[in-house]
Amino acid sequence: MTFDEASQRVAALRAELEHHNRLYYQQAAPQISDSQYDALMRELQQLEQQHPQLCTPDSPSQKVGGAPLESFASITHKVPMMSLDNTYSQEEVAAFYARLQKGLGREQVRCVIEPKVDGVAIALRYEAGVLKHAATRGDGRVGDDVTANVRTIAGLPLRLPAGMQGDIEVRGEVFIGHQGFARMNAEREEAGEALFANARNAAAGTLKLLDSRQVAKRPLEAIFYAVADAGGEAITSQREVYQWLGRAGLRRSDWFVEVLGAQEMLEAIAQLDDQRRRLPYDTDGAVVKVDEWADQAELGLTAKAPRWAMAYKYQPEQAQTRLIKVDIQVGRTGALTPVARLEPVFLSGSTVSNATLHNFEEVERKDIREGDWVIIEKAGEVIPAVVEVLKNKRDGSEVVVSAPACCPVCGSAVQRDAEQVVIRCPNASCPEVVRRRLEHFVSRGAMDISGLGESVVAQLVQLGLVRDVADLYQLDVLSFSRLERVGTKSVDNYLRAIANSRQQAPWRLLFGLGILHVGAGVARKLLEHFGGVDAVAAAGPQELMQCPDIGEAVAGSLHQWFREPVNAALLERLRSSGLQLTQQQVEKQGEQLAGTTWVITGTLSQERETVAERIRAHGGRVSGSVSGKTSFVLAGSDAGSKLEKAAKLGVRVVSEAEFEAMLAG
């Protein structure tokens, strides 16, 4: 490559890397994988090494991350937040250790290895033991002030123990764990909102929200691994950093190993790769650090990264297969979602034949075509995703996938939302929208009409017996007799379940209506605040936002839904069918639990909602997540991570028998 060619390639690489930096750090919407980004960076570094005159201070190879967002105040880091050099090669790990030996002039160098949490880098500053501010990495020199958002993280100490009163700065990662991510996406699906593709993007997007009340609803967590300023306390090694973090009440890594020598280093990295899938959060590599701070100081820094640390990045488990077809799923809110149908392939312990493509904007950006050979991986080890199209394997038979102009089921012209991301079918009578809404309405979390599964609902819609949820209450024996493979006993059960649902709490009805952004928790809070569905329907946006945790998006969606004539008519038909629209006052049975907050987890002898109502009837309140404000965790069998969180926060866990004893006084 000539100098001119190198100069042109360097300019192109810089522009591309800056583009991806903005997507990753400012918009939390990366378009390429870490390995692809690293390959671009490595090519740039190699060209700059070959032509030193092309290496300038503003090169992406000489800085970290992206500029802080204009919507946040800026904080200048007293100690710059540097990034780490990384590699995917075991040979480079051995070469790194050889550089340590040479730099320190001795054969053995003690190092420590810990997981590289796939989150958002954060710096916390404590002054006189009190949390002063929290900042993102930003460009390594200046970051965004996200203090209000970080303060919402459950379990994060806002004040350090009495013996730690100096000016102290710690570094770590903010992330969303596996269970929190699954729960958050389930809630978004219930509310008809777009799902997050992965936990890292969800955490980054959450930190950038301007309303900390909304942040508090997201399951953010934080883990720490470094002390940038110890406030005068004598810390001499990374091992002591971990001890200090424990004394400070700051969460540390769940895995930490000391090694001597390149071979031990590689063995530990392999061991972590095997064990990291059992960690409660996403990891994408192993971080290797020289243990002794004196050794770190002697080895020094480059312009971008310390010479005494590196990250070994694990290759994500991937598979290659052919994308046969792109289908379009129509959701209960009318959202049209492209889904890749694949030739079945075994990946990460299971056979994958489908992968979400999220939206048509992503299909266009990645130029995904029917017939393409693609590489898939499980994002966050769970969700199959198409990460790359193998365009060099195209033979000309591939078919371009275009965003539909009409709903594939009913033919209605589609509508795009304000951000031009989600495409929706606006037809409330679309058979697929009707079917999805009915499935949601009868589900256990909504009106709980047992027995009306997907096959029964599909037949009811196909035969034209049900066009909306109110039609369910007009069904009779003759209606059900038209269904295939449905016996007399089943018909009796269906009719009994429909009749019983008339007495369900009105929050279940509000949730069951499938209004955009209105999940079960939101529906309950609205009914507790307004007392009835009619009052919610009559309220304006500002009145709705007076209800705790109701923001502008939810208020706008509710207000618009109830102003549609077809929905107003639907509500009247449900009222005429005898459904409960007014919240019944919880009959107080005592004050044994007054002032307490409960979290229910695991399998109990009663339905969870029944237990929750009993708690409320005795003066307590029920929350969905464990926090410092939780009084008790009621645990049944097969309880999960909530027990671990309760233990960390010192929250008392009680059995069902102990709970009954408390109610009995």
Question: What is each CA distance from 584 to 53, 506, 531, 654, in whole angstroms?
Answer: 77, 9, 8, 29
- Contact 311/328 with Cβ under 8 angstroms? no
d(CA 665, CA 233): 50
What pairing do the DSSP bridges indicate for beta strands 309-313 and 597-601?
unpaired
517 phi, psi to nearest 5 deg: 80, 0
d(CA 230, CA 234): 7
d(CA 314, CA 505): 50
Sign of the dihedral through C-alpha 533, 537, 540, 544: positive
Partners of residue 377 on adjacent β-strands: 318, 385
Partners of residue 173 on adjacent β-strands: 121, 223
Checking phi first, is residue 85 left (phi over 0); if not, alpha (psi -120 to 50) or beta? beta
Tracing tokens 């464990």 back to the chain, one arrives at: 626
Question: What is each CA distance from 486 to 230, 287, 439, 479, 481, in whole angstroms?
Answer: 71, 60, 18, 11, 7
Residue type, 89: S
d(CA 9, CA 4): 9
d(CA 633, CA 600): 6
Helix/strand/coil (H/E/C) assignment for every residue in 580-608: CCECCCCCCCCCCCCCCEEEEECECCCCH
d(CA 471, CA 460): 10
- Other CB atoms within 10 A of residue 256 CB: 15
**How is residue 317 annotated by DSSP?**
P
For the chain, state the CA radius of gyration.
28
Checking phi first, is residue 512 left (phi over 0); if not, alpha (psi -120 to 50) or beta? alpha
- Contact 154/626 with Cβ under 8 angstroms? yes
117 phi, psi to nearest 5 deg: -70, 135
Residue of 52, 202, 175, 182 whose CA lies nearest to 120: 175
Sign of the dihedral through C-alpha 656, 658, 662, 665: positive
d(CA 522, CA 547): 10
Residue of 575, 334, 331, 520 whose CA lies nearest to 439: 331
76 phi, psi to nearest 5 deg: -85, 125
Residues labelled as active-site residues: 116
Contacts of residue 92, defined as CB under 8 A and 6 or more positions apart, other chains included, come to none
- Name the helix (H) or strand (E) containing 115: strand 110-117
Length of the chain: 665
